[in-house]
Amino acid sequence: MSSSRRQYPFHLIEPKWQKIWDEREAFRAFNPGDEIPPTHPFALRHKVSGKVSAAQLPPKFYILDMFPYPSGSGLHVGHPEGYTATDILARYKRARGFNVLHPMGWDAFGLPAEQFAINTGQHPRKTTEENIATFKRQIKSLGFSYDWSREIATTDPDYFKWSQWIFLKLYNSYFDKEKNSARPIAELIENRKLQIPNEPESSLRAFVDSHRLAYIGQVPVWWCEELGTVLANEEVVDGKSERGNFPVVRKPMQQWLLRITAYAEKLLQDLDIINWTDSLKEMQRNWIGRSEGAEVDFQVAGSSEKIRVFTTRPDTLFGATYMVLAPEHKLVNEITTADQRDAVAKYKGEVANKSDLERTELAKEKTGVFTGAYAINPVNQEKIPIWIADYVLASYGTGAIMAVPAHDTRDFEFATKFNLPVVQVVQPPDAKMDWHGFVGDGVSINSSGPNISLNGLSTAEAKKKITEWLESKGLGKRTINYKLRDWLFSRQRYWGEPFPVVWKRSTNGTLYHEALPDSALPVLPPELKDYKPTATGEPPLARAKDWVNLPDGSQRETNTMPQWAGSCWYYLRYLDSKNPNAFVGKEAEHYWMSGKSAGVDLYVGGTEHAVLHLLYARFWHKILFDLGFVSTPEPFFKLVNQGMVLGEDNQKMSKSRGNVIPVDVPVRDVGTDALRLYEMFMGPLEMVKPWSTRGVEGVYRFLGRVWRLFVDEKSETEFEQAETTTDPNKHSELLKLVRLDAAITDVAPTAPQLKTLHACIKKVTEDLEGLRFNTAISALMVFVNEAMTWETKPAAVMADFLILLHPFAPHLAEELWEKLSAIGKQPSANLAYSPWPEFDPALLVENEIEIPVQINGKLRDVIKVPADADNAAIQAAALASEKIKPLLESKSIKKVIVVPKKLVNIVAS
RNA sequence: GCCGGUGUGGCGAAAUGGCAGACGCACAGGACUUAAAAUCCUGGGACCUUAAAAAGUCGUGCGGGUUCAAGUCCCGCCACCGGCACCA
C-alpha cells in the first residue's frame, strides 16, 4: 500500500471537516424545549430557531448503534461496520428532512477492568476512562455524525443513579396477572391488608417479597469459580462462562432475581409487532420456549401424596407405563421404599456430583433408579412404577413426567435399557411406519378406560377430549410452560452498580431487606485497595466495613448488578442524557419514542445479543411501559444484525490468529472515507464477509476518481509541490490551492447527463431505504465512470451527485462541496443539511429500447424498437430480424410471447 | 436431533419468474514514461472450433418438477455457517 501514490489529500481533508463539524455542533439533535441557535444548519434548513416546541420540530428518526464495551485493545475493522451503516442512514435521513437522533456511549462496567484491578491495584475507573478515551479517539477519527453532547457512560454516577432507580421500581412492583401488567407493590399490600387484617409483619413481608419483580431467591445458580461470581443462564454456554470460557457449576445460593418469567407471554407475543428478522425472533421464541399441554395428577399408591406431571401429549396418557421424577424432586425421599433407599441415595449422590457437562453433553446413556413406589394412572387405574432419573429436569414443568415410551424418544431409550413395558397408543398415519418411538400426530388406539375412550380420535381431538375430561374430574388442567427462567441479577463483583438495598434484623431476629429511598441515590461503590473476594468468599464490597455497616445498624447489600443493567435502558437516557430530575423527561421521551414507527426507528448490532441484551432490554422496557414511564410497549421497532467481518484468511478475527486489523491502519493508509465505503461495499450488511486490503484500495481508487472528476489537475500538482516545502501545520490551508476543474460550469445539463444523474438518484435512494449499501455504492461508481467522459460538467448535476455521495464519504463530499460553492449553484451552504435530490422518472424515458428475442427460451438476437411500440409492433420487429428469420425457416411457429417493453420469446418446432 | 441462514467466474458480489455475472478486486494487453509507480484505454464464465472472428454447446451445490421462460417457484437431497439441545 505504501508503494502506491496518494489518491487525494484525505489526510488533510478528514481532520479538517471533523473539526468543523465539532465546532458547529453540526449533528446536535434538538429536543422539544431546546434553544436552537439561529445560525445552526438545522435552524437554516427547517426555518426554526429559539426555543422550539415538539410541534415546530420536523418528524424524528432515531438511529441507534449497540454501544460498545470499551476494551483495552481498541477497535478493529469489524467494529465500524454497523456504525458505518447507521451513520450513512443518519446522514441520509437528515438530508430527507428528519430530526435525526444518532448517539453514542459506553457500556463501561465489565470484567476486564476489574481483573486488571485485582492484578495491579489500579482502580477500574481509571482503566475504564483510559479505554473510553482510546475508543472515543478512534470512533471520532471515523467521522460519524453522532450527537456527542448526549454521550453517556454506564459507569458515570449520574447514569447509574438511574439504573439503581429503575431497579427500585422493579423492587417496588409486582406482576398483576388479572391486569396482565406490572403494578406498584403498594396496591398489593393494600389488598392484602383488606383480605387479612392484622397479619403479622413477618408473614406480610414474606408474602410481599414473594411477589416483587426483583426478589431474593435461594436457587440453583451457575457459579464460576475462576471468575468468582455467579452468572445468568444466558451467560453460560456449553457448561462454560460466556466471558473467559471457564467451567461453571450448579450451586444453590441466595441471589437477587428478576421475575422475567412473568413477562414470558408478552415478550413472546409482542415479537409480532416489531420489525426484526425472522431468525432473531425465532431465537427469542426458542429461548422463551413456550409449550402447551396439561398437568395431570397421579395418586401415589398406598399414600395420600399426589404427583403432578406436565405433558404436551395428554392424548398418550393410556400409554404411560412408568413415571419419572427428577432426582431433586421433593417427594423422592418420602415415597422411596425401605429396600430402595440405599440405591436412591446413592444415585442422588452421583447426580449431585456430576457437572452440567456430564449430565447433558456426555450423558448419552440413560441412567436411573426405581424408588419402589407406584403411581395410579388416573385414566385406567393401572399401577405404574415410579423411577428417578436425571433426564428429567427439576427446573422444568413440575420436575416429574409420565413416561410414554411408545411415543417419546427419551422414554423409549430409558424403557429399553431398563426393560419397562412399551404400549402403543398412537397409530401413525402411514400404517407401514414403525410405531416404536413414533412421536408425531396420528390416531389414538388402545386408549380406552372405564370412563373414557379416545380410540379413533386424531391426536388434536384426543388432546382436547382428554384435557376436558381431566378438568371435569379435577385430575388435571390445561397448562402452558416456558423454558425461560427468572433472571439471575446479582454478581459478586466490585465494578458494577451497588444495589440500593439494605439488610435489617427484625425484633424476632430474622434478616430482611429494605429498599433505600430515591434520595439515597446514587449508591456509590466504596474505595478499595484490594478488589478480590474476601477469604470467606464474600463479594469484594464486603471488604469495605465502613461502607457496609450503616449507623442505624443495618448493612448494605454487597452484591452488585450485572453489566446488563446499564445496557437495558441506555437508549432511553440518550433522549435526555443530562436530565438531573428523571431518567428521561416526559416530553423528550414522547417526542423521540412515539410516532409511526414507535421506539427506536433502527437499531443495528451483532447477533451475539439475541437472547441477552435484546431480551433483557425488552423486559425492562415493558415494565417501564406498564408503570407509565414510557409510551411504547417495545423499545426497538426495527432491528438489523450486521454480519461479522472476518480476517483476510476467512477466519474470525482474533489476537491468537494474528489476523486482526485495527481501524487505525486503513484510516492512516487510505482514510476513513475509503474505510467507510469499503465496509459497505464488501457485501450485504447482514452477511458474514472477509476483509480484503485489495478491496479497500479499490474503493480508495474510486474516491480518487471522484476527486479528479472535480478538481483541476494542474492546481493539484501545485498543491503537492507546495506541500513538500511548507510547514506541516499550515498544510490544511494549502487545500485552497486546489481549484475546481474548469469543465465544471454553470451550464444547463444535457438530456443524457440528466439521465445518468437521475438513474443514480433512483438507485441510491431505493437502495438506502432498503439498506442495500453495496449496490448503492456501485450506482455511484457507474455515475462517476460515465461522468469522467463528459467534456462539460454542469455544476447543478455535480452538486446533486455530492449530496448522493455525502452519506458514504462525508469528508470528501464536504471538501468538494465547498469548492463547488465558488460556482454559487448549490442550494445550501451546509452539505449535511442539503435536501436530498428528488428523482424525476420523466428524465429516464428512452426513445428507443432494446428487446431480447428468444427462440424456445434461448437468446438469439437483441432488437431495437421505439419505446412506445406496442406488442404487435414488437412482435413484427422480432420476426423481421435478420438473425431470427433464418433460424425459423425450417420451423413452424407455435406461439409468440411478448412481454411488453421487455422481451419476445418465439415458441417454434 | 430441531430451528434459522447461505451455496452464482480466480476472488468480494449483482440480478420485481424475462439478455446470468452489474459494480469492484486480481489478471492480461495497450497508451503515457528513459524506466517504474500512478493514471487513462481495452479484454475477459467454461468448452468447442478458428490464423483471428463469427457461429455453436454447456453453465448459478446435486437430482427431479412446474412454466413459453427458473439463480429466482415447488418436491427430494448434499455441504457449510449460526442458534438451541434430555424442555416431557
Q: End-to-end CA distance of chain A: give it in Å, rounded.
A: 59
Grid cell 423454558 is found at: A483
Closest CA to A212 of A490, A623, A523: A623
Q: Protein A687 CA to nucleic acid B79 C1', in Å?
A: 18
Q: A782 CA, B11 C1': separation in Å?
A: 21
For the whole model, what pTM was predicted?
0.93
In tens, the pLDDT along A390-420 reads: 999 888 999 999 999 999 999 999 999 999 9
Residue A226: which residues within 8 A CB-CB, separation 6 or more?
A241, A244, A246, A247
Q: What are phi and psi of A899, to 5 degrees?
A: -90, 115
Interhelix angle A773-787/A672-681, rounded to 10 degrees, is: 120
Cβ distance A376 to A382 under 8 Å? yes
- Contact A874/A880 with Cβ under 8 angstroms? no
Beta pairing class for A400-403 and A426-427: unpaired
Decide: A28 and A99 in contact? Cβ < 8 Å. no
Q: Which nucleotide is nearest to A861 (CA to C1')?
A: B19
**Which whole-number Å values give the CA distances from A630 to A583, A601, A620, in the listed order?**
11, 16, 11
Q: In degrees rounded to 5, what are phi and psi of residue A14?
A: -70, -50
CA A339 to C1' B24 (Å) is 78
User: Which residue positions in chain A have pLDDT lower than 70?
Assistant: 1-4, 355-364, 596-597, 824-828
Query: Do residues A410 and A423 lie in contact, with contact meaning Cβ atoms separated by under 8 Å?
Result: no
Q: Which nucleotide is nearest to A699 (CA to C1')?
A: B24
The one-character DSSP state at A271 is: G
> Which chain B positions come under 7 Å from a protein C-beta?
3-5, 11-16, 18-20, 22-26, 37-41, 56-57, 68-70, 81-88
CA-to-C1' distance for A178 and B62, Å? 56
Closest CA to A801 of A846, A836, A850, A749: A836
A857 CA from B20 C1′ (Å): 14
Spanning CA of A884 to C1' of B43, the rounded length in angstroms is 28
Cβ-based neighbours of A537, under 8 Å, separated by 6 or more = none
* Nucleotide lying nearest to A693, CA to C1' measure: B25
DSSP state for residue A39 in the 8-state scheme: T
Cβ neighbour number for residue A830 with a 10 Å cutoff: 17
Task: Report ipTM (2 d.p.).
Answer: 0.95
DSSP assignment letter at A858:
E
pLDDT in tens, A796-844: 999 999 999 999 999 999 999 999 987 765 556 789 999 999 999 998 8
A731 near A12, Cβ under 8 Å?
yes
Contact, A645 vs A77, CB < 8 A?
yes
Buried b (16+ CB within 10 A) or exposed e, A332-367: beebbeeebeeebeebbeebeebebeebeeeeeebb
Tell me the nt nearest to A389, Cα to C1'.
Answer: B86
Which nucleotide is the nearest neighbour of A5, by CA and C1'?
B38
Report the protein residue whose CA lies nearest the C1' of nucleotide B3.
A282
Q: How far is the CA of A904 from the C1' of B54 (A)?
A: 24
